[in-house]
Structure 1
Amino acid sequence: MPHPRPVRRFLTVSSSLALATAVLVVGHAPATAATGSAAPPKSTADCAALAGLEIPKRRIGLPTTGAEITATTTVPASGTGPAALPAYCRADIAIHPVDPDAPDILMGLALPEGWNGKTMMFGGGGYNGTVPNLGQNVPFGPVDQRTPLGRGYATYASDSGHQADTGRHPIASLDGWFGQNDEAVRNFSGDALKKVHDTARYVIGKAFHRKPGTAYFAGGSTGGREALAVAQRWPRDFDGVIAAYPAWNAATLDLYFGRLTHEFGKPGAFPAKEQQDLLAQRVLAACDGDDGAEDGVISDEAGCDFDPETLLCDDGEAPGETCLSREQVDAVVAADSSWKLPYRVASGERSYPGFPVLSGARMSTPTLGFGTAAPADPMPVTAGYGMQFWNQWAKYFVARDPQISPFAIDPAAPGKWQRRISELTAIQDVNDADLRPFARSGGRLILVHGAADELVSHRSTIDYYQRVQRVMGERATEKFSRFYLVPGANHANFPPVAYSAAYDSLTALEKWAERGVAPGDDQVVADGNAGANRTRPLCEWPTWPAYVGGPVSEAGSFECRG
């Protein structure tokens, strides 16, 4: 989702020689190396000439039956300011499977005019199934800076090897039908990343008569898992990785979603939206001021001490806008609590740490969190995203029976399904904490997670980062990686959100990977909510921003403590 390599070094060249001189990257081919052509390098792709180009299977690092460009489109320049995009050639590409019953991997590649010699691969989200926007920003990216394509990057992304159908599920990223095919599951779980990277690299070489110099990957959620997968499995392919709110232990998270489905599916256990709002309000009232400022954001999530029993209805009081029933309180506590797997799985994962329900996550966020309808069979489309995710996983990945009920498989006692579940953890849990090969090859990693994430627990990212520190040592980990928590930020800035994280991680990564300038203590995250006009220091975990005086809207009024 190895062996020692020297740290990459870069050769600075004048702009007049930029098209003829290599930017040397150890572990990558020189930027001036032509791909089967002696033509001089160029900065604009001939879009029409690329149509129909075939990519030999030998040029792709994992088994396929080759690939081809199925269409090319010349896209004119558009937008102004931070939204400006250059004119570019879009190539649509199909990578063909080995199994004739498996779907193609469909990918898009944007080749901009004035290409800067760099590439950015984007990850997907949910079950993927669609080609992401090639002009998008990195996750939690700044609203006042240009996107990678706007900066002149060649960008690319894929559907990870299957095509979602909103006829099967109205939310494309929740269509898990492909789980019935082994090759499609392996592609989704990580294999497609290598196939897409190698294909893009080949086409870029053909288009510009030179190979790319610096290569980056950015993704959040499923894309965050994919970001960690490329660092773990192909440590020389990318110079830098941005992994935001990563669902790295994907199968174990699916099991946790299954647990929540069973808990909230019990009679009387599901809290209505007004009760979910009550929960969020009570937690905020209890912990908002712990950082010294009452500003709608809980900075010290781990230090928030809220007793859920205070939500319990008094004798004779009916559950509603002012209180929760015993069954509802118990379900909320279960969602917040760590859950230990009662059996062994092949990936070695043993537990999932629960969501910060009682310390900041607003679980009434539409679609995400608990949803607005209790889980049921058939599963409502207004149930929580994670519960719908479990429904798809249980049907297509585990049982491979679209008719099975989401309640037919108990994640705590799966019976005949236990072996299949274990097999899936080995494929889907991207949990190798030994990132020494990536670090030795010069790779740089920025991890970012919102401390109020209601879909992928930031506690899980803490768990993974601590594993890396144990394997590599804290000093070695600090040399190649940074891990930041953003208080108040939820999953993917899904509205409404207390703090819409906007951090220029790409510029920080460029400075680190290309110039050796590591992110310092002066990193700042803005609030991208309309009209918010506030900033906070971006505190490296385990620290958090504490108010020390001055305008509450300014980062300088806070310091990182912990």
Structure 2
Amino acid sequence: MSLPTTGGRVTAAAEVTGPAGRYCQADADLFPVDPAAPAIKLRVALPAGWNGKALMFGGGGYNGTIPDVTANVPFGPADRPVPLARGYATFASDSGHQQNPAAPPSLDGSFGANDEALVNFAAGDALKKTRDASLFLIRHAYGTKPAEVYFAGGSTGGREALNVAQRWPAAFDGVISAYPAWNNLAEILDLGYLTQVLSRPGAFPGPDKQKLVYDSVVKACDGLDGVVDGIVSNPGGCHFDPRALRCPAGADTGPACLSDPQIGSVVAMSTPFRWPYRVASGETQYPGFPFLSGADMRTPFLGFGTTAPANPMPVTSGYGMQYWDQWVKYFLTRDPGQNSLEIDPRRPGKWLDRINLLSTIEDRNNADLRPFARAGGKLILMHGAADELVSPYSTSDYYERVRAVAGPRATDAFLRYYVVPGANHANFGTPALAAGWDSLTALERWVESGRAPGNQVVTDLTHARTRPLCEYPGWPRYRGGDPGSASSFACTR
């Protein structure tokens, strides 16, 4: 059943010829029920050589722009055509609001002041509305509906991918969910706490100290998989104590060591954050981030940032700190003048009721995916082990919840989960391993032919090397031979 709108209109249509081939691009607006709410803007790409299938892309951050319908799936391969070039009809939307062009990309939360726009984005209502309208246009163009419909997204798009499997189990035949921010409210509370920690006098580790931490962790843990190659393949076995980097007497004496307040910040980022109250979604904590995430100065924007959080929030602070600032201003208090540093996620006071409500909208944490499985759905779940914005521990938590509900054997019949060593958030910056994997072909074979993924290989897009893609909780151990070849590694636990 479709969700309510007040209709829609195609606003533009044009024939396009580009790297993905020749296709018709149609743009449309879906009108809101609340006249004060913005429209949902969507785009559909209709290839001349249609393969009879469709794929929807998820967004990122606070969305607000239409994802590139000519793009690849998250962690997609460099040596295979993108979905549109393979003949897929592709589609996506801005999730029901348009970003202020003056704001940093995907960091404009001002739409949260409107209830319908908030639910379209955070609860995912725009996903179903976009899917139904896009399939109508595809059917109108080709005279028939797609044989299979897939979804692929990472980060916010990864949460959207899990959301469609949870809420509309028969709407998509297969789903790719990468580094999903599924427990969005829980993560935001942790980000708020970290924002406060990093804003304390002397607590922010600058880029030099972030590099110090990163290099020290790699030096301590790189060889745990049997080879020194710049990739920590066994993050579960990596136990690093940042106090080993303590400056004399805990004072800040330069870039070669950490002061006591800076050690506190590094520990806070890598430690589970628990709040001393109940929230309506049932979440109780956020599991923290790996040392190899926010401590990687090669991608400081997503982790710590290059400058400490402050009021007003600098655009050079970490992405998560800016995300928290927007959330406080427009989702929580709905006061654009609110100083986000004054809101303590451990003691929210009068804002607790609002946090409770938002948790039911933003935490997409239903682990019962059995209806999706009964509908024939298949799910590929993946995360980079060095993600600096969405914790891989969080995705592992969700996976274990699904197994606890459905049982291990039933889960294996519809779900595969991979943690990619060395990969970070969306291959941003210069990760130790820039992941490339043809997950779409693996998903197609599973959905359309019943062949479950097996013996998968991930390519490092920047270092011309391969690694086995191990099913969680496995990781690749070196067993001899060319360290650049996946055949030289074996998945182990």
TM-score by length of 2: 0.98
2-structure distance, mates of 1:196, 1:363? 38
Residue in 2 aligned with 1:106?
41
Residue in 2 aligned with 1:559?
490
Contact kept, 8 Å, 2:294 with 2:302, in 1: the verdict is: no
Residue in 2 aligned with 1:525?
458
- CA shift, 1:364, in A, is 5.1
Q: 1:141 aligns with which of 76, 85, 89?
A: 76
Residue in 1 aligned with 2:64?
129
Q: Which runs of 5+ in 1 are unaligned?
A: 1-59, 80-84
Q: 2:277 aligns with which of 338, 343, 367?
A: 343
Whether 1:64 aligns to 2:5 is yes
Residue in 1 aligned with 2:309?
375
Residue in 2 aligned with 1:97?
32
Whether 1:274 aligns to 2:208 is yes
2-structure distance, mates of 1:471, 1:185? 30
Cα gap change, 1:188 to 1:359, in 2 (>3 Å): closer
Q: Which amino acid aligns with 1:152?
A: G
- CA shift, 1:366, in A, is 3.4
1-structure distance, mates of 2:146, 2:293? 45
**1:327-348: per-residue Cα shift (whole Å, max 9, x none)?**
0001110100001121111111
Cα gap change, 1:177 to 1:317, in 2 (>3 Å): closer
**1:348-377: per-residue Cα shift (whole Å, max 9, x none)?**
111000000268962551311000010000
2-structure distance, mates of 1:324, 1:366? 17
1-structure distance, mates of 2:294, 2:26? 43
Residue in 2 aligned with 1:208?
142
Contact kept, 8 Å, 2:139 with 2:145, in 1: the verdict is: yes
Cα gap change, 1:404 to 1:161, in 2 (>3 Å): same
1-structure distance, mates of 2:110, 2:492? 46
- CA shift, 1:391, in A, is 0.2
Contact kept, 8 Å, 2:295 with 2:304, in 1: the verdict is: no
Whether 1:430 aligns to 2:364 is yes
Residue in 1 aligned with 2:249?
315
Q: Which amino acid aligns with 2:485?
A: E
- CA shift, 1:166, in A, is 2.5
- CA shift, 1:320, in A, is 2.2
SS at match of 2:317: coil
2-structure distance, mates of 1:315, 1:493? 38
Cα gap change, 1:364 to 1:334, in 2 (>3 Å): farther
Contact kept, 8 Å, 2:222 with 2:233, in 1: the verdict is: yes
2-structure distance, mates of 1:86, 1:214? 21
Residue in 2 aligned with 1:546?
477
- CA shift, 1:175, in A, is 0.4
Cα gap change, 1:483 to 1:461, in 2 (>3 Å): same
Q: Which amino acid aligns with 1:286?
A: A
Cα gap change, 1:298 to 1:359, in 2 (>3 Å): farther
Q: Which amino acid aligns with 2:434?
A: S
Pairs within 5 Å for 1:171-250: 171-189=104-122, 190-250=124-184
SS at match of 1:446: strand
Q: Which amino acid aligns with 2:105?
A: A
SS at match of 2:106: helix
2-structure distance, mates of 1:351, 1:107? 35
**1:354-413: per-residue Cα shift (whole Å, max 9, x none)?**
000268962551311000010000000000000000000000000000000011211110
Contact kept, 8 Å, 1:261 with 1:387, in 2: the verdict is: yes
- CA shift, 1:419, in A, is 0.6
- CA shift, 1:318, in A, is 3.7
Cα gap change, 1:143 to 1:192, in 2 (>3 Å): same
Q: Rg: which structure is higher? A: 1
SS at match of 2:208: helix
Contact kept, 8 Å, 1:361 with 1:453, in 2: the verdict is: no
1-structure distance, mates of 2:295, 2:245? 16
- CA shift, 1:300, in A, is 0.7
Aligned-residue RMSD, C-alpha: 1.1
2-structure distance, mates of 1:119, 1:246? 22
Q: Which runs of 5+ in 2 are unaligned?
A: none
Q: Which amino acid aligns with 2:64?
A: G
Q: Which amino acid aligns with 1:545?
A: P
Residue in 2 aligned with 1:115?
50
Q: 2:353 aligns with which of 419, 422, 431?
A: 419
SS at match of 2:209: helix
Whether 1:258 aligns to 2:192 is yes
Cα gap change, 1:116 to 1:361, in 2 (>3 Å): farther
SS at match of 2:202: coil
Whether 1:75 aligns to 2:16 is yes
Residue in 1 aligned with 2:419?
485
Residue in 2 aligned with 1:87?
22
